[in-house]
Amino acid sequence: MAADQQQQTHDQTYDVVVLGAGPVGQTVADRVRAAGLDVAVVERELVGGECSYWACVPSKSLLRPVRAISHAQRVDGASEAVNGSADPAGVFGRRDRYVNDWDDTGQADWVAGIGATLVRGHGRLDGPRRVVVTTPSSREVVLAVRHAVVICTGSRSAIPDLPGLVEARPWTNREANDSSDVPNRLAVVGAGAVGVEMATAWHGLGSKVTLLARGARLLPRMEPFAGELVGRGLAAAGVDVRTGVTVRELSRAYPYCPVALALTDGTELEVDDVLFATGRKPLTDHIGLETVGLTPGSWLDVDDTCRVRAVEDGWLYAAGDVNHRALLTHQGKYQARIAGAAIGARAAGTPLDTAQWGVHSTTADHHAVPQAIFTDPEVAAVGLTEEQAVQAGRRIKIIDVEIGDVMGAKLYADGYSGRARMVVDVDSGHLLGVTMVGPGVTEMLHSATIAVAGQVPVDRLWHAVPCFPTISELWLRLLEAYRDSFVTLV
Q: Is 233 annotated as a binding residue?
A: no
Q: How far is CA 214 from the centre of its chain?
A: 21
With 80 as the cut, is the pLDDT of residue 5 above it? no
What is the rounded average pLDDT of the residues 447-462? Answer: 96
| Residues 50, 273, 438: CA angle, nearest 5 degrees | 65
Whether residue 58 contacts residue 178, with contact meaning beta carbons closer than 8 Å, is answered with yes
Spatial distance between the Cα atoms of 456 and 429, rounded to a whole number of angstroms = 8
Q: Is 153 annotated as a binding residue?
A: yes
Each residue's pLDDT tens digit, 140-166: 999 999 999 999 999 999 999 999 999
> What φ, ψ does residue 470 adopt, rounded to 5°?
-125, 165
With 80 as the cut, is the pLDDT of residue 4 above it? no
Q: Is 438 annotated as a binding residue?
A: no
Spatial distance between the Cα atoms of 245 and 129, rounded to a whole number of angstroms = 47
Q: Is 79 annotated as a binding residue?
A: no
With 50 as the cut, is the pLDDT of residue 1 above it? no
Each residue's pLDDT tens digit, 289-330: 999 999 999 999 999 999 999 999 999 999 999 999 999 999
Each residue's pLDDT tens digit, 393-428: 999 999 999 999 999 999 999 999 999 999 999 999
Please tell me whether residue 31 adopts helix, strand or coil conformation. Answer: helix
Write down the pLDDT at residue 2: 37
Please tell me whether residue 429 adopts helix, strand or coil conformation. Answer: coil
**Which residue has better confidence, 318 or 367?**
318
Spatial distance between the Cα atoms of 431 and 453, rounded to a whole number of angstroms = 9
What is the rounded average pLDDT of the residues 434-448? Answer: 97
Write down the pLDDT at residue 397: 97
Q: Is 154 annotated as a binding residue?
A: yes
**What percent of the chain clears pLDDT 70, i.e. is strictly above it?**
96
Query: pLDDT grade, residue 256 (50/70/90)?
Result: confident
The span from the first CA to the last CA of the chain, in angstroms, equals 83
Q: Domains along the chain? A: 12-53+98-154+283-364 (3.50.50.60), 158-279 (3.50.50.60), 377-484 (3.30.390.30)
Query: pLDDT grade, residue 10 (50/70/90)?
Result: low
Write down the pLDDT at residue 6: 41
Write down the pLDDT at residue 84: 85
Spatial distance between the Cα atoms of 213 and 290, rounded to a whole number of angstroms = 36
Q: Is 195 annotated as a binding residue?
A: yes
Q: Is 210 annotated as a binding residue?
A: no
Query: pLDDT grade, residue 358 (50/70/90)?
Result: low
Q: Is 192 annotated as a binding residue?
A: yes
Q: What is the DSSP string of 173-232?
A: HHHHHH--S--SEEEEE--SHHHHHHHHHHHHTT-EEEEEESSSSSSTTS-HHHHHHHHH
With 50 as the cut, is the pLDDT of residue 458 above it? yes
What is the rounded average pLDDT of the residues 445-472? Answer: 96
Q: Is 90 annotated as a binding residue?
A: no
Parallel, antiparallel, or unpaired: how do β-strands 268-271 and 240-243 relate? unpaired
Spatial distance between the Cα atoms of 202 and 184, rounded to a whole number of angstroms = 10
Q: Is 193 annotated as a binding residue?
A: yes
Asked if the peptide bond before residue 469 counts as cis, ω within 30 degrees of 0, the response is: yes
Q: Is 226 annotated as a binding residue?
A: no
Q: Is 344 annotated as a binding residue?
A: no
Q: How many CA atoms within 13 Å lie on the side-chain side of 160?
A: 14
Q: At what angle do helices 56-72 and 193-204 cross, to 10 degrees?
A: 60
Q: Is 190 annotated as a binding residue?
A: yes
